[in-house]
């Protein structure tokens, strides 16, 4: 029996080439087959060996049966964006195996289930056949568990072929299963070992990819963006949470609920300092959030594009009636049955102006796990200070994928609750005008229900009110209020997180991105410099409204590429709404909208094309 078929076209040229800690592994499996555990263990083991790593799960809208792909990228240089090219494929899914293999670049490696006979498809790849069914039977006597345990075998195979240390596989596995599932962990460990032993006896390494221990992940954590955002909400002191399940935001609320139960339940009485309500729909969840914000709670919801659409009317009321609330938008492709499990920066434009009338909403754009955490806290601070709904715009890539991160810093600032007048304040002041711009920042003072003072109460309604919250349909009252709201938005512009800017001397080209486009954009800048000698300056937006630094940045460059993960260049469109013509004239668009996380090569190729090189 041939142990390995190796016939890469450039095998001569490649002899002795070693590619260390710089490649991507893709595992193609069937959804619901338990591959998530095997993939997480593989990723963790590499992480534990000190190598920067990222994992991206591309999964279908399905519970079980449809194809799913998990990509692990190891990068000694710390690139954690998606890598377009797959270097090492584990083909476990008969449905997709043929196409998966045909898409590989020459020289890639393929571990596959032997009966699939994938080696017949191409002669320029490194093939490693493995009889998974034969291997799983002895390590897993219980037939019904074999489908799940089978996947752990490839962890052992890949560990052998890439040089991942088995003790690290075991450590990752134990962490994954936890102490309570020790039996399952041992079963899986047996499978991983069987894979390793098989590979050691039957496979001859011919591909150039190797993992070697580094020291670049010490002290770091692995977390997904939904859990990171949930932790931000927890430490922001959220008290009222209303939500409606929707992919990819549900796991955020589930993580939050679990943290709240753990850290915000009184140990003696069992009573909670929070309320989480699963509402009947997104209209109700935003209604509850704004009602709670009005009554003084730190309130939030999490949703995605279709939910955002349903929140439109209430969001407008929130803007006009000036109600605090935090809405996390874990963006995805949509609507309806439209790729709900794929990522997109799809709601930038619609969220900025959500609702009817002249509405503008602030948005924050976290790009990392730490920013998911810190910006969640900032979102509450801004919402309460500016008395307006604040949208925290993450996406499926950030929210549902596992990311390596530095640990989160404990909030340095105390919680500030904004301009709220107490009964004592009112006794001193004699009264107040709810919508009067006392401080010049466009933000009025408010009172909360149940404030024991005869002058505390006011009536909250949409746009038809004067400074004293009295009902009015007068032209001048309406316009005065609208002008103050516009002024308030300008105050916000100066208070939202400023962009990250990296100027390069003499650079003619600037690149602007936001959110999860960060990693591919940063990597693309290195590619442009190394491969094309194009030096670029860089600006990463952290918030809308855009800070004045954005205008300065555009002015200082001849051509500015705006990166968007949507078809219609929504970030650029927002700039067009407000920037002067001479700045808009410099803007160019780089867009990716295929539902996967954007990758560096796509950006590089497009910039090079537009640069005419």
User: Is the Cβ of residue 444 or residue 545 nearer to other proteins in the bound state?
Assistant: 444
Positions of E strands within 31-185: 53-58, 67-75, 88-91, 109-113, 126-130
Give least dist CB 213 to other proteins, A: 17
290 interacts with other proteins by CB under 8 A: yes
399 interacts with other proteins by CB under 8 A: no
Three-state secondary structure string covering 354-405 = CCCCCCCCCEECCCCHHHHHHHHHHHHHHHHHHCCEEEEEEEHHHHHCEEEE
Answer for which of 314, 435, 538, 544 binds other proteins (CB under 8 A) is: 314
Local structure of residue 143 (DSSP, 8 states) = G
> How far is 538 from 467, CA to CA, in rounded Å?
43
- Per the omega criterion (within 30 degrees of 0), is the bond before 545 cis? yes
Give least dist CB 250 to other proteins, A: 19
Sheet holding 325-331, edge to edge: 275-278, 240-243, 299-303, 325-331, 389-395, 363-364, 543-544
Answer for which of 439, 471, 474, 578 binds other proteins (CB under 8 A) is: 471
479 interacts with other proteins by CB under 8 A: no
276 interacts with other proteins by CB under 8 A: yes
Counting residues that bind other proteins (by CB under 8 A) gives 72
468 interacts with other proteins by CB under 8 A: no
Q: Choose the binding region for other proteins from 19-27, 164-172, 288-296, 588-596 (rule: CB under 8 A).
A: 288-296
271 interacts with other proteins by CB under 8 A: yes
> How far is 599 from 389, CA to CA, in rounded Å?
32
Answer for which of 26, 96, 249, 299 binds other proteins (CB under 8 A) is: 299
Beta-carbon-side half-sphere exposure of residue 181 (alpha carbons within 13 Å): 12
User: According to CB under 8 A, which residues from 346 to 365 bind other proteins?
Assistant: none
Residue 158 in contact with residue 164, Cβ under 8 Å?
yes
Q: Name beta bridge partners: 74.
A: 23, 53
User: Is the Cβ of residue 214 or residue 448 nearer to other proteins in the bound state?
Assistant: 448
433 interacts with other proteins by CB under 8 A: no
Answer for which of 447, 517, 536, 566 binds other proteins (CB under 8 A) is: 447
Residue 388 in contact with residue 412, Cβ under 8 Å?
no
User: Is the Cβ of residue 102 or residue 415 nearer to other proteins in the bound state?
Assistant: 415
Answer for which of 15, 215, 410, 582 binds other proteins (CB under 8 A) is: 410
Q: Choose the binding region for other proteins from 13-21, 164-172, 281-289, 489-497 (rule: CB under 8 A).
A: 281-289
88 interacts with other proteins by CB under 8 A: no
User: According to CB under 8 A, which residues from 211 to 270 bind other proteins?
Assistant: 219-223, 231, 234-240, 242, 259, 263-264, 266, 269-270
Q: Supply the angle between the helices 282-294 and 312-321 in degrees, to the nearest 10.
A: 10
> How far is 608 from 66, CA to CA, in rounded Å?
37
């Amino acid at each position: 029996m041939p142990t390995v078929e190796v016939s890469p076209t450039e095998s001569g040229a490649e002899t002795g080439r070693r590619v260390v800690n710089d490649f991507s592994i893709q595992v193609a499996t069937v959804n619901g087959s338990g591959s998530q555990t095997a993939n997480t263990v593989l990723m963790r083991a590499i992480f534990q060996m000190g190598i920067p790593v990222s994992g991206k799960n591309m999964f279908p809208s399905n519970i079980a049966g449809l194809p799913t792909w998990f990509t692990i990228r190891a990068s000694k240089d710390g690139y954690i964006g998606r890598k377009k090219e797959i270097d090492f494929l584990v083909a476990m899914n008969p449905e997709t195996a043929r196409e998966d293999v045909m898409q590989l670049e020459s020289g890639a490696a393929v571990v596959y289930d032997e009966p699939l006979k994938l080696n017949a498809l191409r002669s320029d790849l490194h093939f490693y056949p493995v009889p998974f069914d034969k291997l799983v039977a002895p390590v897993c006597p219980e037939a019904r568990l074999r489908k799940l345990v089978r996947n752990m075998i490839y962890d052992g195979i890949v560990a052998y072929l890439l040089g991942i240390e088995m003790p690290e596989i075991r450590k990752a596995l134990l962490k994954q299963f936890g102490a309570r599932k020790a039996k399952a962990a041992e079963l899986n460990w047996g499978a991983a070992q069987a894979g390793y032993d098989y590979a050691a006896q039957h496979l001859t390494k011919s591909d150039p990819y190797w993992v070697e221990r580094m020291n670049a992940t010490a002290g770091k954590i692995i977390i997904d963006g939904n859990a990171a955002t949930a932790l931000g909400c927890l430490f922001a002191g959220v008290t009222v949470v209303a939500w409606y399940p929707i992919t990819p935001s549900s796991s955020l609320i589930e993580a939050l609920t679990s943290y709240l139960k753990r850290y915000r339940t009184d140990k003696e009485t069992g009573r909670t300092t929070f309320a989480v309500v699963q509402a009947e729909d997104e209209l109700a969840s935003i209604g509850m959030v704004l009602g709670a914000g009005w009554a003084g709670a730190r309130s939030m919801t999490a949703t995605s594009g279709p939910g955002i659409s349903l929140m439109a009317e209430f969001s407008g009321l929130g803007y006009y009636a000036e109600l605090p609330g935090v809405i996390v938008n874990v963006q995805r492709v949509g609507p309806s049955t439209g790729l709900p499990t794929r990522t997109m920066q799809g709601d930038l434009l619609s969220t900025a102006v959500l609702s009817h009338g002249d509405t503008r909403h602030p948005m924050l754009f976290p790009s990392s796990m730490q920013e998911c955490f810190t910006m969640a806290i900032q979102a509450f601070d801004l919402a309460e200070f500016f008395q307006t709904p604040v949208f925290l715009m993450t996406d499926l890539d950030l929210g549902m994928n596992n990311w390596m991160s530095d640990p989160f810093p404990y909030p340095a600032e105390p919680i500030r609750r904004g301009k709220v007048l107490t009964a004592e304040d009112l006794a001193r002041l004699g009264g107040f005008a709810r919508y009067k711009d006392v401080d010049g920042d466009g933000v009025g003072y408010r009172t909360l229900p149940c404030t024991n003072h005869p002058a505390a109460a006011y009536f909250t309604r949409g746009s038809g009110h004067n400074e004293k919250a009295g009902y009015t349909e007068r032209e001048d009252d309406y316009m005065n209020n609208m002008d103050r709201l516009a002024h308030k938005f300008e105050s916000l512009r100066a208070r939202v997180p400023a962009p990250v800017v990296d100027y390069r001397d003499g650079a003619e080209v600037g690149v602007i991105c936001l959110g999860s486009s960060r990693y591919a954009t940063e990597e693309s800048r290195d590619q442009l410099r190394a491969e094309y000698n194009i030096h670029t300056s860089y600006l990463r937006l952290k918030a809308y409204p855009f800070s004045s630094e954005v205008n300065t940045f555009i002015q200082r460059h001849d051509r500015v590429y705006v990166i968007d993960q949507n078809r219609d260049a929504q970030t650029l469109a927002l700039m067009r709404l407000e920037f002067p013509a001479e700045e808009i004239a410099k803007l160019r668009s780089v867009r990716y909208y295929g539902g996967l996380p954007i990758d560096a090569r796509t950006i590089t190729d497009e910039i090079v094309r537009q640069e005419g090189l």
